[in-house]
Structure 1
């Protein structure tokens, strides 16, 4: 994939397909330590130990709508190709967690991509799911929690176009703040 944010979309969609209603995404850009890491957790139905053993196999998927599951195997390969690592943990009935890291300055590391747009797409496409997005940059932190935003909106859906535009602009502004 051309951007890491596309991997993020894929992993999040896996969690939603596993009936998660809360996805936690942590992006840690520790440029000062030359590490970019992602942690994506969900509260979905999780995988059995047998399924977990096959999670990075491109010819395995727990979905019934297709016969292959390239997403996690591609993410694992991308992380390892860039001097990083990959891990997957899951507990049946409780959810799953994907962690991967990359050497930040590795020549083969794809760019992170547009995280504000990624969050906008997720909120528009999955308005019933809550997202906790935490982005760190050299120790400075931005947190975005749709549960808190829903309370402030008092029934106005997150997927309302004007709301989405406003939220995306807010995410862009906060990401710019922590990077400067």
Structure 2
């Protein structure tokens, strides 16, 4: 995948498949420190140590619809090509945390891609999951919590088309401020 937003989408879908009810996505995009740090944490089923070691193998997957799982191995490879890394910490019945670092000015660093569409797609995927999304730069810090939004919306579903359109604009505005 040549966009970080698509990698984030892939990892977050792993969290959804692990029955997470809360997914926290943080991106730190720092020109000053020359890094892009990405963290995706969930409270899903988690993995044992043996499975954590296997998920970086492209020929390992828990899915039954195909025999390869390229998401994590490619994300790891892309990070390492820039001088960065990918780390996975997981505990059974507690969840998983994937941390990735890219060196920002490296020619192999993928573009961010459309993180707004990624977040809206995730929210649409399962309205019962709560997301915390944080995007930090050297000059700003944007935080969005769907639980707070759901509380404000009351009986109106967060997946209603009008709400999703508003969410897109809200995230776009937050990322440029």
TM-score normalised by the chain length of structure 1 = 0.95
Conservation of the 8 A alpha-carbon contact between 1:51 and 1:62: no
Structural mapping, 1:138-157, within 5 Å = 138=138, 140-157=140-157
Matched, 1:175 2:155: no
**Distance of aligned partners of 1:148 and 1:79 in 2 relative to their CA distance in 1, 3 Å threshold:** same
1:59, distance to aligned residue in structure 2 (A): 0.8
Q: How does 1:85-104 map to 2 (within 5 A)?
A: 85-104=85-104
* 1:34-73 paired onto structure 2 within 5 Å: 34-73=34-73
Residues paired across the two proteins, number: 177
Residue 74 of structure 2 corresponds to residue 74 of structure 1: yes
Q: How does 1:126-141 map to 2 (within 5 A)?
A: 126-138=126-138, 140-141=140-141
What SS class does the counterpart of residue 33 from structure 1 fall into?
A: coil
Contact 1:48 1:92 in 2 (8 A): yes
Instruction: Kindly provide the CA deviation profile for residues 8-49 of structure 1, in whole angstroms up to 9, marking residues without a partner as x.
Output: 000000011011011000000011110001000010000112
- Cα drift, residue 63 of structure 1: 2.7
CA distance in 1 between partners of 2:151 and 2:6 (Å): 29
**Unaligned 5+ runs, structure 2:** none
Alignment partners' CA distance in 2, 1:62 and 1:46: 13
Residues 38-47 or 125-134, more deviating: 125-134
Contact 1:85 1:102 in 2 (8 A): yes
| Residue 102 of structure 2 corresponds to residue 110 of structure 1 | no
**Distance apart, 1:126 and its partner CA:** 1.8
Give the conservation status (yes or no) of the 8 Å contact 1:38–1:99.
Answer: yes
Cα shift at 1:139:
5.3
Query: Does the Cα contact within 8 Å between 1:47 and 1:96 map onto a contact in 2?
Result: yes
SS at 2:65 equivalent: coil
d(CA) in 2 for partners of 1:18, 1:139: 35
Task: Determine the C-alpha separation between the residues in 1 that align with 2:105 and 2:99.
Answer: 19
Indicate conservation of the 8 Å contact 1:23/1:131, yes or no.
yes
Structure 2 Cα separation of the partners of residues 95 and 156 of structure 1: 29
Deviations 1:102-150 (A, max 9, x none): 1111111111111111111111122221110011001521100000000
5+ long unaligned stretches in structure 1: none
**Bigger mean CA deviation after superposition, 62-71 or 10-19:** 62-71
